[in-house]
Structure 1
């Protein structure tokens, strides 16, 4: 069946198309009786507004694009939930794309979203993204762009982040406070800003406590900072390279859980032999044995905040008001569990 039109409703009731349109929008110059008749018939005939026509008239698609590195991940799943919770309240559809940590795919996805004339774009960068021309092009076309979590500081747009450097410092300081003397770091890939900042926070905590920084204790997750297998591999290598390490700060919980799985397999006791602090606070971190001490990263709140900022900028542009870019920094917390000793 063909979609029902305003004209058909008007002909049924012997009134104008304009009156039907106004009645459906609750205009005050249409009588309550006429409104009731129009809405009842529209419901009976299963009338649906023509979204394309509405978009042409309002110059809004009521859609936004969301590009994230991976979907099957506790943190990004929480971010998506936060974004959708706010988008639905404002009547927006969210197009979710996964870059798979690929710069080339991320570029294609930006082009795709722009060709679909989305009202704005939310993005967390792929690990492989080192060139930002595709993002600067979005900004040059006056399309609202908000970055979150994995960001590029030199791109001039709003950003929603945590203080990764501070959080990593707190995580490493906790290991020091519990008596660890030789602390390793499993870091993420070299490019993402959050990976860089977490490494710098780890390093600063060591130096502030007069502990030498040893680059041989830093293991890079070549396959990405969310790999369970990478955690196992780095744990195996650490045990071969260093028999004196008694603490590890690990870039994400999934890598930490991979490492803990390997340590359990090899009879390494946690926290007695090696204490571990992760990052993100996945559900799994509270059920693995021993339970994992970690930094709680507010994914759901980050998603809500990112959408709210994007929506604000969409409305500012529509109303020809100046757009002020913001760097919004959310708080994190250290969640102490069994993988670290208590502070003596």
Structure 2
């Protein structure tokens, strides 16, 4: 059935469309009797206001776009939860798109969101994104855009981040503090800024503690659908390449869990032979054996914070006020578990 219109209500009551509209909005110049007749008929006919048209008249669609690399991922699922909960409180719908770590798909999805006239966009960049022209074009249209997690430092928009270098430094320092001397790093792909910063944090911790940096101990791992298998394969390769490694800082928990699985299979004792620190605090990190020490990354809080910042910017645009980009940094913490703690193993 087609939606009931104001015109149909007006025709049945033999009044104007304007009168019907005013009656539904409780305008004071419409009599209570007319308001009652209009509202009663609207209820009988199951009339629903065209919220999209109303929102457009108010210069907003009450929708935002969210582009993330992966949906089925512990960290990003927490981010989504934080965003959606905050959006619902403000009456916004969230259009969620997955870029699959593809730059080309990310560009198409941005165009799609713009064509849907969303009020603003939240985005965590794909690993393959090295050109930021598509993002700058959105900003040039005065469309609010807030980046989170995987960001581009040179794009002038608000960002919600953690200090990846500081967190990686803390993870590596923990390995050094428990006595590790030859520490490998399973890093993410070369492009994402967070992967770069985690590598730099690892390297700085070594140098600050007078431990030599050996590039042969750094392995590039996938952080997508094959993360677990990549962790297993890289762990096996590490043992073939180096027999003296006693610690590993790994870019994500899923890769770390894959590595632990392979080490368990090969009879490598953790943490007696090799200590491991992951990153993210994925729920599996607390149930695998041995449990995984990791950096707790606040996904839910990141989602909440990103939406709140975007909402502020949407309101500024509506008032024709300038947007001043803001960098919001959230705290992380080291979670110590069995993979680095000999005391827990005894």
| Coarse TM-score class (shorter-chain normalised) | over 0.9
Counterparts in 2 of 1:11 and 1:278: CA distance versus 1, 3 Å: same
Query: Deviations along 1:43-68, whole A, 9 cap, x unmatched?
Result: 33222111342243222222111111
2:174: which partner in 1? 174
CA drift of 1:323 comes to 1.2
Query: Deviations along 1:6-33, whole A, 9 cap, x unmatched?
Result: 2333455565544443454455666777
Query: Deviations along 1:45-97, whole A, 9 cap, x unmatched?
Result: 22211134224322222211111111110001111111111111122121111
Counterparts in 2 of 1:277 and 1:226: CA distance versus 1, 3 Å: farther
Query: Deviations along 1:216-249, whole A, 9 cap, x unmatched?
Result: 1110015659711110111000111111111111
In structure 1, how many angstroms separate the alpha carbons of the residues matched to 2:297 and 2:160? 12
Counterparts in 2 of 1:207 and 1:5: CA distance versus 1, 3 Å: same
In structure 1, how many angstroms separate the alpha carbons of the residues matched to 2:179 and 2:253? 22
2:286: which partner in 1? 286
2:89: which partner in 1? 89
Q: Which piece of structure 1 moves more, 81-90 or 150-159? A: 81-90
Asked if the contact 1:225/1:251 (under 8 Å) is kept, the reply is no
Structure 2 gap segments, 5+ residues each: none
Scaled by the length of structure 1, the TM-score of the pair is 0.94
Asked if residue 115 in structure 1 is aligned to residue 115 in structure 2, the reply is yes
Counterparts in 2 of 1:13 and 1:235: CA distance versus 1, 3 Å: same
In structure 2, how many angstroms separate the alpha carbons of the residues matched to 1:295 and 1:225? 21
1:297: which partner in 2? 297
Within 5 Å, give how 1:121-160 maps onto structure 2.
Answer: 121-160=121-160
Query: Deviations along 1:145-193, whole A, 9 cap, x unmatched?
Result: 1110000000000000011111111111111111111111100000100
Structure 1 gap segments, 5+ residues each: none
Q: Which piece of structure 1 moves more, 36-45 or 85-94? A: 36-45
2:214: which partner in 1? 214
Scaled by the length of structure 2, the TM-score of the pair is 0.93
**Structure 2 SS opposite 1:128:** coil
> Alignment RMSD, CA only?
2.1
